[in-house]
Amino acid sequence: KKKNITQIDYSLSTIPIEAVTSYKYLGINFNHNLSWEPHINYISAKTNRSLGFLKCHLYKATQETKLITYNSLIRPQLENASIVWNPHQLYLEEKLEAVQNRATHFILRNYQPTSVTAMKAKLNLPLLKHRRKVSRLTHLHKIYYNFPFKKEEYCPPATHISPRTDHPLKIQLTTPRTNLFKFSPLQLAITDWNNLPEPI
C-alpha cells in the first residue's frame, strides 16, 4: 500500500530550500530512497575516465609504475567512504570490480582471454568487495576497543553465545525488517564480526 508523504517546505534565513531527489555530500551521492546505484554508476564512470587517461599517458610505463598509479589514483576513488555505500547487489559489485579488471589488463598489457582472477593474484590485487569487508571490520574493531561509550550503544554483547559455533566476543544483532536495514553498514559489520573464527 502506497503511503501518503507529506511535503514540508524548508527555508534558511527566509531563503527557500529546493527539494531534490539526490544530493552529493562529502563525495557521496545520496539518493532519496537510499539506493546506492546512482553513486556507484557515478564512481564507475569517473574511474573509467581516469583509467582511460592513464592508458593514454602511461602506455609505455613499467608494470610497477602502472600498478602504483592504479593503487594511488584509481582504487582510492573506488573505495572512498565505501563503509557507507557498500552494495549488496551482485550487479553493482561486478560493476565496480570491472574497473579493477580493466586496470589489471592495462597494468600487465595482457588483453588475451586469460583468467583475470589469476592476473589479479599475480599483482596482489584482492577483490574490492573483500577490501570493503576488511574496512568494515577495521572500523568496527576501532569502535569496539577504542570507544567504550559507542560500544555500549552499538555493540552490545550477544544474549546467547554458543560454545560450539560462536566466539566469546559475539555482538547482538538486531533482526532487520527491511533490506535497507539488513544491508546497512553496522549490520553488515556485526555479521562479519560474528562470523570471524575465534583465533582472529
Categorize the per-residue pLDDT at 4 as very low, low, confident or very high, splitting at 50, 70 and 90: low
Q: Is the pLDDT of residue 2 over 60?
A: no
Quick count: other Cβ atoms within 10 Å of Cβ 167? 17
What does pTM read for this prediction?
0.86
Quick count: other Cβ atoms within 10 Å of Cβ 120? 19
- 43-98: per-residue pLDDT in tens? 999 999 999 999 999 989 999 999 999 999 999 999 999 999 999 999 999 999 99
Strand partners of residue 25? 28
Strand partners of residue 92? none
Domain boundaries along the sequence of the chain: 10-125, 132-194
Query: What is the rounded end-to-end Cα distance, in angstroms, of the chain?
Result: 46
